[in-house]
Structure 1
Amino acid sequence: MKHYHFESKPVAQASAIVSGPHYRFTILTDRLIRYEWSHDGKFEDRASTFAINRDFPVPKFQVLDRSDELEIINDHFHLSYDKKKFSPSGLLCSFSSKITLWGAQWRYGLDTDRRENLGGTARTLDEVDGRCDVGNGILSKFGYAALDDSESMLFDGHGFVAGRRPGDRIDGYLFCHGHDYRGAIKDFYKVSGKQPVLPRWALGNWWSRYYNYHEDEYVSLMDEFKSKGIPLSVAVIDMDWHMVGDPQVPHAGWTGYTWDKKLFPNPENFGRELHSRNLKITLNDHPHAGVHHHEDSYEEMAKFLGHDTSKKNPILFDPTTPKFMEAYMNILHRNIEKVACDFWWIDWQQGSHTKVPGIDPLWLLNHFHFVDNALDGKLPLIFSRYAGPGSHRYPVGFSGDSITTWASLEFQPEFTATASNIGYGWWSHDLGGHFGGHRDDELVTRWVQFGVFSPIFRLHSSNSRWTSKEPWLYRKESEEIIENFMRFRHRMIPYLYTRNILASTEDEPLVQPMYWLFPEIGEAYQVPNQYFFGSELIVAPIVKPRDKRTNLGYVKVWLPPMHRHVDIFTGTVYDGNRELNMYRPLHEIPVLAHEGSIIPLDANEKPGNGGLNPEAFEVLVVVGRNGQTSVLEDPADDSEQVKKESPQNNERGSLIQYKQEEGELTAHVTGRTWTFRFLSLTETPKDLKITVDGQDRTKDARISISTFPATPSLLVHVPPALHKEKYTITISLGKTPQLGVISHRERIEKLLLDYQTEFEIKDKIWSIVDDTDSAVNVRIGKLMSLSVDETLTEPIAELLLSDVRGMHL
């Protein structure tokens, strides 16, 4: 198994270690301590599933070593130990004011810090209808968090795995980062390894259903999506790709490695057909039942393993044996991959035990499948369940069988954001629900909207004839919304792929809780379902049914003190540093970009399958603050047209910068057509100037400038500069341009028109809105004093109060 060896540096510098007969402390960074106790004085230097790196520059610290007490001190912590077996009274750590302002103190073994721990994630959402326990992460309001690594699986240094030594042992890590949550996560990734870069296609729309498709039916379905202009990138084939209920199968049928020829008479051609449509293929695998005599690869595996086939006994699943795992990967799975499989959906659900204590089969499967998927030099990917700290190295995560209820949807945004507290950045959920619940088109629509702004978008359902997630199976309103949001997901891939690269290189998960950036502001902890989606966007999914009278759903939103924010779908400008309820019809959710945001999109309103590099870009820009972004690409993801227009080096990037004081946007771009949409600019600046490679092109007939009142914005369209591979676009808006002051009169009128309520109430509300001679605060007072349900007046107040500059409108 040497070819499965992966890079690690598990042995710490000797000068970072303070040890005695039964204890060992390793100062890994200036705020991260490893603490170990062993009954026999033997300590562990092999990599574990959590800790694969411990060899770091040694930080400064001092040691006070007395006969009955050991102290380790630096600028951030003061550890005290009585040299006995670890206990709450004998091992404690105090922190400087740089860590906490209230003098919190960690004591080994006490559970008091769990109260303020900000959570981690869970192995599965199977059978979870609403909330579940997400355990501990490495972030806490107390400023410290301990991670127990005493029982995790180890790597033996030769490409395989091993259990822990028997006996009484403690192996833990104390994160002492205070409210520097990002600093804690960076140290976590130092020790546990970085998030890998996902292939670009993984960021598009995945189609999945537990259903016994015939191969022709599946291909026809993919073509129907294409005919409707709905892009896909991954075709998931659940367990019915292999024989399940065939008389030859001597077990329950969940495990299988032989194509069901009744459903897939020509699997090789099936694979070619999907690949020709720019789709990647993943097959579901439940390996627990082993390899039985009816499987195509049984004889070949048996020969390799020396297994007696005379009585047709099965080859048992034994992941703790290197030779079995070699046959499992290089024979059993490779034979199927050669036919039609790009990566595996590892659907292990049989617990965490093997015949070797400490070796979790899920951990082992995740590791070897991921490493194996990278052997041909491609970016590896698996689709599997979370196995514990360190699982972020093996994306993508399958969160399990969602129950189709509002309670399930309501928990998933928080669940996804909180997972970043244990470094787990790439969850994929059963969007729309797998089973249970009841038909609710609104629920599925809201679930899809959340899914578009979640790490991985994957529609899924059970084999029920009533639950399949084709958009055209829903009422017309939902159908159109789902289709539009799925198209927008593929339009976002330029943004997502760049954030994907930065998630790995800069240790910035795509989804981050609000308190990561604002740890000292209490409101940041009160909106668990609201999160940063990359550095530019704040997303607040709507996860409750809409009101039947207003036809509006709502979500509580906290706007951080980052000046103003713009809803990218409506153009509404909001002042920051406040809480409010945001109301939206079914076709909208709040997605907010702060001043200085730059968001690259695919300009194609109906992108094709696979999420290839765009042939044209649309870039959303929010003026008001300086901003900068990169658009990173791999030329391997180019279409034939893009290859003609762009440089074909190994790494390609465009750099877009905006300077507020000068009102100038500069884009160093790589070929193709670029369009810049300046959100919430309602007029064309008088002194607008556009240059390409230094030449004034403001009056060039090929450059178009327009505004869009429906979604207020200024659009500047720049065609390719003589098909150059690289060129520079400069757009000057004039000194210190500001977001426009938006009148919401027309939007409010549309809202009221749709209200299912008395005409008299509508008239009263409109008379207040229409009273432009009165100040907004006066109108708000009148609005609130109406003897009507606030559900009817709050959506109006939200718009009137969105931007203090508009108080006179």
Structure 2
Amino acid sequence: MPQPPPDPGPYAGGMPLPRFRPTGHGSPEPAAVVAGAHYRITVLTDGLLRLEYSPGGRFEDRPSAFAVHRRFPVPPFRVRRSEAGLELFTDRIHLSYDEREFSPSGLSVQVRGGVTNYHSVWRYGTPVPTLGGTARTLDEADGPIPLEPGINSREGFGVVDDSASVLLTEDGWYAPRPREEGAVDLYFFGYGHDHQEALRAFYALSGPQPVLPRYALGNWWSRYHAYDETEYRQLVQDFADRRLPFSVLVVDMDWHLTDEHVERHHGSGWTGYTWNRELFPDPRRFLGWAHERGYRVTLNLHPADGVRSFEEPYPAMLQALGRDPGTEEPVAFDVTDREFVSAYFEVLHRGLEADGVDFWWIDWQSGEHSRLPGVDPLWVLNHYHFLDSASGGERPLILSRYAGPGSHRYPVGFSGDTVISWASLAFQPRFTATAANIGFGWWSHDIGGHIYGSRDDELATRWLQFGVFSPMLRLHSGNNDFIAKEPWRYRSPYAEIMERGLRLRHRLIPYLHTANRAAAVDGVPLVRPLYFEHPEAEQAYRYDHQYLFGPELMVAPVTAPVDPVLTRAAVPVWLPEGSWTDLCTGTVYDGGRELMLHRGLGELPVLARAGAIVPLAGADPDAAPGPGNPAELEVLVVAGASHGSVLDEDDGAGDGRDPARWARTELSLDVAAGEFSLGPARGHLGCLPPARSWTVTVLGAAELTGLAVTVDGDDVPVSVVRRDRRTSVTVPDVPAGARVVLRSPGLRGVAVPDPAPRVFDMLNDAQIGYDVKQRLYTAVRQDPVAALGQAPALGAEGPLLSALAELVLAVRDGA
């Protein structure tokens, strides 16, 4: 039977922290437990087991840093006992256990259903296969680094070892695990190739991802540079003059007194809580100015050096901790001392927040050890900072590094100081996507890289393009006068492409915020590996640089330089079955194959399946992505298949989980009826503008002849623009809650594109002889498929031949 929890030790007393009390339920349903004197097996779901072994027969029911909720509805299972031990069966797994100390020969779990050609069997103590999870940091990474394990694998199972994680106590504090040699606490995930369902079980056990504030999904400006107030104001004005939208302003560590202001006997100036008033004479004024313009502000924290006597809050810290006011001894940073942790928030941070600091960038770089074994200061900082950020009713947010399984509850993740190189960029798509295997959905990278490297305008441009289709877009750079990410510091055309990327990210916010809610409520991260939707396809595991982005899009970032002859970069991709349209180029591809795509500097493969529906904000970059929802929306609709989607919007209040604060607009394409409809919006209509302008842009269809548009059944006048195989229909002044319907026979099918115009553009840019260009183009215009067979004889080779094949065979049954 479970034993009462042991005394949590000398660090559990002291100042109460009521707002930090855990909300999970650590103890399981008794009917889900199969136990003996030294073991306990809990059947949490048909594919999730908790496996505990204790030589002393003591089992833990308090929530842990990883497992905050263990009371699940009891799933069907059966147990069979024999002289050899016990067997446990669910629909997904078969456990065999000899009821002795856990061992490879005595404890095994098989995933049922023929997941692999060989038996998918895990034996205790043997290596666990994994598709990868994530890592604590990319600090100084220059290419791939090892990843911690996730819960998904090709073999169909994963294991999380929770034997050493800290425990959460009822009063809001934490306690280290009781020390017991040989004690084991494991969670076995046996979902076969149902990777998404495994992740939902993970969230049910470890807690869901929170709903991010809407402003966090916009562009962030960050730079390690000693800005003063005047310079920062001018920077923001420069952004406004160039119509470049940002929503978050980061002030790195120079907001506080640093090395040149700190006497050497105090140590370094890395830690600080005192504004540098040479740079910011009136911090409250600066922060108020930023808020008036719709920006949110975060400050950098390096708290490891504690509080020294030169700091403004030093006397108040001494008073809060009951220490001698006559001393000049530093107050050591100690996450195991609850009085210090309470004063850390109430004294060091509360006043800065009252001045206008919106959230904190916790830049912990000082290791995983504290005065208590197993207590990682980074986890403690993430846990309490995140909970504290919600204490005033705001939607919580922090920026910090990953601190192990369970860290998905404390977004946003700061991935660290990467090297500026193509190798770093090439690794980040895979790194970002595989984090879904451990539930971590909100990585924020130093877009453009942070340190070392050399000037490469193409690399910076491609990195920003990846940032547009990343969980977060946070430009950042190291403390070097020549490393900066302002687009106007780059040459043309790089600068203009970067500016377009920043504007596009801002326009994506309605799509991102809908995915934000889905991540929290439905357990579907924004960025996911291809095998989450195509688990039985071999290619989904091989193309690990390619990923799903929200419910409608698939992205393959460009992570290599352009070919100097072709003037395009090559990207290998796998297209699942179906028809796929590249939103950047308009090219339509038949799926079910692997191919090489070639993209110029201003393009990257952003692919949408036929029927995809993508809501965007209007094209006005002056509208800040704050709590309000835009009055102008554009919906991209990819012709070719019937499909339904939604647009979710809320009022920004609370934690985002109250459905009464959300409005949902249904979006639907019915090919058979030749009809696209949006609305009516339902739910909290008060969070929406009273009326909106809607633009529906249809890609890939023939011209929308016989177009009729109604609002709540009444015909209305519209404006129609046809350009580059896109037809845009704008319906102004649509009341909130109204239903808009577009009808046209053109919505029933896809117009197969003529490859010749795209071939002409490609040949026009290619750095080859004019005669070769003319011969190839003439052949394509006469017979595209036959031209491909003649192309080598006509002078096409290497990347040029590959690019020609991509365009001619995009739709394989020809033009």
Normalised-by-shorter TM-score class: over 0.9
How big is the shift at 1:67?
A: 5.1
Matched letter for residue 264 of structure 1: F
Does the 8 Å CA contact 1:97/1:103 hold for their aligned counterparts? no
Matched letter for residue 493 of structure 2: E
Q: Deviation per CA, 1:542-566, whole angstroms, max 9, x where unpaired?
A: 00010111110121011111x2111
1:197-346 mapped onto 2 (5 Å cutoff): 197-249=211-263, 250-346=266-362
1:334-483 mapped onto 2 (5 Å cutoff): 334-483=350-499
1:774-793 mapped onto 2 (5 Å cutoff): 774=783, 776-786=784-794, 788-793=796-801
Counterpart-to-counterpart distance in 2, 1:285 and 1:422: 26
1:516 alignment counterpart: 532
Does the 8 Å CA contact 1:234/1:282 hold for their aligned counterparts? yes
Matched letter for residue 166 of structure 2: M
Counterpart-to-counterpart distance in 1, 2:787 and 2:536: 35
Q: Deviation per CA, 1:652-694, whole angstroms, max 9, x where unpaired?
A: 2222112121121111155311010001224122x32211111
Give the SS at the match of 1:226.
helix
How big is the shift at 1:353?
A: 1.0
1:506 alignment counterpart: 522
Counterpart-to-counterpart distance in 2, 1:746 and 1:605: 30
Q: Deviation per CA, 1:288-314, whole angstroms, max 9, x where unpaired?
A: 100111111111111111122323001
From 711, 714, 732, give the equivalent of 1:695: 714
Counterpart-to-counterpart distance in 1, 2:677 and 2:763: 42
CA separation of 1:99 and 1:791: change in aligned 2, threshold 3 A: closer
Counterpart-to-counterpart distance in 1, 2:483 and 2:356: 27
Counterpart-to-counterpart distance in 1, 2:93 and 2:651: 47
Does the 8 Å CA contact 1:603/1:616 hold for their aligned counterparts? yes
1:155-166 mapped onto 2 (5 Å cutoff): 155-166=168-179
2:678 alignment counterpart: 667
Q: Deviation per CA, 1:481-537, whole angstroms, max 9, x where unpaired?
A: 000010000000010001101111110000011111111111111111111100100
How big is the shift at 1:749?
A: 1.4
Matched letter for residue 417 of structure 2: D
Counterpart-to-counterpart distance in 2, 1:273 and 1:610: 17
1:644 alignment counterpart: none
CA separation of 1:785 and 1:139: change in aligned 2, threshold 3 A: farther
1:601 alignment counterpart: 616
How big is the shift at 1:347?
A: 0.6
Matched letter for residue 159 of structure 1: G
From 586, 607, 624, give the equivalent of 1:571: 586
Counterpart-to-counterpart distance in 2, 1:488 and 1:61: 50
Does the 8 Å CA contact 1:784/1:790 hold for their aligned counterparts? no
CA separation of 1:404 and 1:735: change in aligned 2, threshold 3 A: closer
Which 10-residue stretch deviates more, 457-466 or 748-757?
748-757
Q: Deviation per CA, 1:413-444, whole angstroms, max 9, x where unpaired?
A: 00000101100000000000101110000000
Does the 8 Å CA contact 1:490/1:607 hold for their aligned counterparts? no
Counterpart-to-counterpart distance in 2, 1:659 and 1:777: 33
Does the 8 Å CA contact 1:76/1:98 hold for their aligned counterparts? no
Give the SS at the match of 2:524.
coil
2:153 alignment counterpart: 140
Does the 8 Å CA contact 1:160/1:322 hold for their aligned counterparts? yes
From 182, 191, 200, give the equivalent of 2:196: 182
Give the SS at the match of 1:377.
coil
2:122 alignment counterpart: 106
Percent identity reads: 45
Matched letter for residue 215 of structure 1: E
TM-score scaled to structure 2, two decimals?
Answer: 0.94
Does the 8 Å CA contact 2:379/2:403 hold for their aligned counterparts? yes
Matched letter for residue 692 of structure 2: R
Counterpart-to-counterpart distance in 2, 1:454 and 1:235: 18
Structure 1 moving runs of 4+ over 6 Å: none
CA separation of 1:747 and 1:321: change in aligned 2, threshold 3 A: same
Counterpart-to-counterpart distance in 2, 1:242 and 1:360: 26
Counterpart-to-counterpart distance in 1, 2:546 and 2:249: 30
How many residue pairs align between the two structures? 781
CA separation of 1:272 and 1:736: change in aligned 2, threshold 3 A: closer
Which 10-residue stretch deviates more, 547-556 or 187-196?
547-556
Counterpart-to-counterpart distance in 2, 1:478 and 1:140: 40
How big is the shift at 1:787?
A: 5.2
Matched letter for residue 567 of structure 1: D
Matched letter for residue 737 of structure 1: R
Does the 8 Å CA contact 2:21/2:169 hold for their aligned counterparts? no
1:796 alignment counterpart: 804
How big is the shift at 1:780?
A: 1.5
Counterpart-to-counterpart distance in 2, 1:358 and 1:649: 41
Does the 8 Å CA contact 2:546/2:573 hold for their aligned counterparts? yes
Counterpart-to-counterpart distance in 2, 1:25 and 1:636: 42
Does the 8 Å CA contact 2:566/2:765 hold for their aligned counterparts? yes
Counterpart-to-counterpart distance in 2, 1:52 and 1:635: 29
Counterpart-to-counterpart distance in 2, 1:493 and 1:87: 50
How big is the shift at 1:102?
A: 3.6
How big is the shift at 1:402?
A: 1.2
Counterpart-to-counterpart distance in 2, 1:467 and 1:539: 28
Does the 8 Å CA contact 2:509/2:616 hold for their aligned counterparts? yes
1:63 alignment counterpart: 79
2:29 aligned with 1:10: no
Give the SS at the match of 2:498.
helix
How big is the shift at 1:783?
A: 1.7
1:641 alignment counterpart: none
2:727 aligned with 1:707: no
Matched letter for residue 713 of structure 2: G
Q: Deviation per CA, 1:108-135, whole angstroms, max 9, x where unpaired?
A: 1111x42xx1100000000110000112
2:704 alignment counterpart: 684
Counterpart-to-counterpart distance in 2, 1:12 and 1:98: 30
From 599, 605, 611, give the equivalent of 1:590: 605
TM-score scaled to structure 1, two decimals?
Answer: 0.94
Matched letter for residue 786 of structure 2: V
2:768 alignment counterpart: 757
How big is the shift at 1:75?
A: 2.2
CA separation of 1:708 and 1:605: change in aligned 2, threshold 3 A: farther
Which 10-residue stretch deviates more, 205-214 or 620-629?
620-629
2:9 alignment counterpart: none
CA separation of 1:191 and 1:636: change in aligned 2, threshold 3 A: closer
1:534 alignment counterpart: 550
Matched letter for residue 227 of structure 2: Y
Counterpart-to-counterpart distance in 1, 2:514 and 2:447: 24
From 160, 164, 174, give the equivalent of 1:151: 164
Counterpart-to-counterpart distance in 2, 1:291 and 1:297: 8
Counterpart-to-counterpart distance in 2, 1:72 and 1:30: 11
Counterpart-to-counterpart distance in 2, 1:572 and 1:27: 49
Counterpart-to-counterpart distance in 2, 1:171 and 1:374: 31
Q: Deviation per CA, 1:393-420, whole angstroms, max 9, x where unpaired?
A: 0000000001100000000000000101
1:643 alignment counterpart: none
Counterpart-to-counterpart distance in 2, 1:551 and 1:69: 67
1:615-634 mapped onto 2 (5 Å cutoff): 615-634=631-650
